[in-house]
Amino acid sequence: MQSLDRAHCEQLDRDDPLAFARDRFHLPEGVVYLDGNSLGALPKATAAHVDQVIRRQWGDDLITGWNTHGWVDLPKRLGAKLAPLIGASEDEVAVCDSTSLNVFKLLSAALSLRPKRKIILSDIGNFPTDLYMAQGLAQLLGRDHRLELVRPEQVLDRIHDDVAIVMLTDVDYRTGRRHDMAAINARARDVGALTLWDLAHSAGAMPVELDRHGCDFAVGCGYKYLNGGPGAPAFLYVARRWLGAAQQPLFGWFGHAQPFDFDTAYRPRDGIERYLVGTPSVIGMAALQCGLETFDGIDLGQLRAKSLALGDLMIRLVAQECGGTGLGLASPADGRQRGSQVSYGHNHGYPIMQALIARRVIGDFRAPDLLRFGFTPLYLRYQDIWDAVAVLKTVLAQEEWRRPEFNRRAAVT
């Protein structure tokens, strides 16, 4: 195979049909940001819009903003805006709370639909907070419910008629490996189990087809590929067939049929809004709205094609530039089985990542040994991948990671 150089990458950028989207973001000079799968970059529109919401809507219009600026409808309006990114209908999605809390709501709803089944099935690669929420719910219920964990490749075979719900993250947060959503849904449907998909590393990174694949429930994160800002509100999806049938136990006034009647008895709303709980974060939603608008006019097929091309390029460049340095590809080489990231194992993964960050190539580290590089197609260039690999090559060749300052653990790694 022909050796690649930076000029080749620059040519790919000139040919990139999504190159225009980079201008929608504020990106610090000299940084190669490969951590949009942990916290998306700042859209240029966000600060001004949030400022407007704070100064004009809240500051000038005070309490009347709930009506005059439609704050009260934000969870549903942003859900409708998000729906096309995940292959859902507008009435199946709401933006609210955190991913963790949304997992709790939807697991509870699913268990209420399968009262005789006790097993929540997941895999050991699922993101821990999803597993924790399942453990907390099972313990609270105290009726023999349990979370059963298998290896990712064992999931399909383990789906039997004792399983109430299969809870999986579509794209593994460490390796980027994708589950076969269609096959798992089909198998679950055959045995009467339900499915709950966590789209934290999917939504905004590639097209997702929740409706077409027959998913039952889904959750996802607003602050990764959706660019909603640190701790942005999350989202949830309930397939239309369950909207009326299922109920969740976090009865809050924003999920009440008539919240401003101030009844003492709870009656859920009809649609997706029964999954709302407390008063929604208007300022957080304002920022997320700008994140969602970075997808305006974006072709999701092109988004996926670029995401895979960036990953393929990274894999090829690391092989070309960093051979024999102890990096082991931890992600599927076949793009069809991979999300929008590439991870490498290395015995010194933690300090290597710190050394990269010191040189302004920002990825992240995931225990036990993974260097994780995420690709956000809206703002990453092919030349950025070249530059990142060049820095990685230097860090490894010069063993920069041996410096003491790169071997101290920070609170968030």
* Closest distance to its own copies from the beta carbon of 256 (Å): 7
Identify whether 224 is a catalytic site residue.
Answer: yes
Binding mask 211-240 for its own copies (x = CB under 8 A): ------------x-----xxxxxx------
Q: What is the DSSP string of 89-107?
A: -GGGEEE-S-HHHHHHHHH
* Token duo for residue 19: 């190159």
Tell me the closest approach of the beta carbon of residue 214 to its own copies, in angstroms.
27
Minimum gap (Å) between residue 323 Cβ and its own copies: 29
Total residues in contact with its own copies, by rule CB under 8 A: 93
Which residues, including other chains, have CB under 8 Å from residue 69's CB and lie 6 or more apart? 53, 57, 61
Active site residue 223: yes
CB of 283 vs its own copies, minimal distance in Å: 5
Choose between 321 and 387: whose C-beta lies nearer to its own copies.
387
Q: Tell me how far apart the alpha carbons of residues 314 and 284 are, in angstroms, rounded to a whole number.
A: 34
252 makes contact with its own copies (CB under 8 A)? yes
Nearer to its own copies, 249 or 326 (CB): 249
Q: What does 306-330 look like in DSSP terms, one character per residue? A: HHHHHHHHHHHHHHHHSTTSS-EE-
Catalytic, 372? Answer yes
Provide CB contacts within 8 A for 10, sequence distance 6+.
382, 383
Site for its own copies in 349-368 (CB under 8 A): 357, 362, 364, 366-367
Crossing angle of helices 300-321 and 382-397, in 10° steps, is: 30
| From candidates 93, 99, 239, 315, binder to its own copies by CB under 8 A | 99
Q: Tell me the β-bridge partners of 166.
A: 121, 195
d(CA 136, CA 103): 11
Which residue in 403, 113, 55, 140 sits closest to 238, CA to CA?
A: 113
Contact 138, 146 (CB under 8 A): yes
With CB under 8 A as the contact rule, the residue among 18, 50, 186, 329 that binds its own copies is 50
Distance CA 71, CA 73 (A): 5
The span of 35-43, 180-188, 205-213, 319-327 binding its own copies (CB under 8 A) equals 35-43
Give the footprint of its own copies on residues 59-98 (CB under 8 A). Answer: 59-67, 71-73, 97-98
Q: Hunting for tokens 């929740």 — which residue is that?
A: 210
Residues between 105 and 134 that touch its own copies (CB under 8 A): 108, 124, 126, 128-129, 131-133
CB of 382 to its own copies, least distance (A): 20
Sign of the CA dihedral with 220 first, then 222, 225, and 226 last? positive
* Distance in angstroms (rounded) separating the CA atoms of residues 219 and 221: 7
Catalytic residue (choose from 24, 224, 274, 306):
224
Tell me the CB-side half-sphere exposure of residue 185, using CA atoms within 13 A.
Answer: 17
The CB-of-200 to its own copies minimum distance in angstroms stands at 11
> Of 36 and 335, which has the nearer Cβ to its own copies?
36
Is 275 an annotated catalytic residue? no
Set 104, 223, 235, 344: catalytic member: 223
- The β-bridge relationship of strands 42-43 and 25-26 is antiparallel
Among 7, 54, 245, 333, binds its own copies (CB under 8 A): 54
| Residue in 24, 76, 81, 372 annotated catalytic | 372
Report yes or no: 248 and 37 within 8 Å, Cβ to Cβ.
no
Say whether 219 sits in a helix, a strand or coil: strand
Question: How far is residue 99's CA from residue 127's CA, in Å, rounded to a whole number?
Answer: 11
- Let me know if 235 is a catalytic residue: no
Binding of its own copies at residue 376 (CB under 8 A)? no
Site for its own copies in 274-313 (CB under 8 A): 277-285, 287
CB of 161 to its own copies, least distance (A): 23
Instruction: Find the shortest distance in angstroms from Cβ 112 to its own copies.
Output: 9
Of 104, 127, 235, 344, the catalytic one is 127
Is 47 near its own copies (CB under 8 A)?
Answer: yes
- Of 231 and 328, which has the nearer Cβ to its own copies? 231
Strands 361-362 and 341-345: unpaired
Active centre residues (catalytic): 127, 198, 223-224, 372
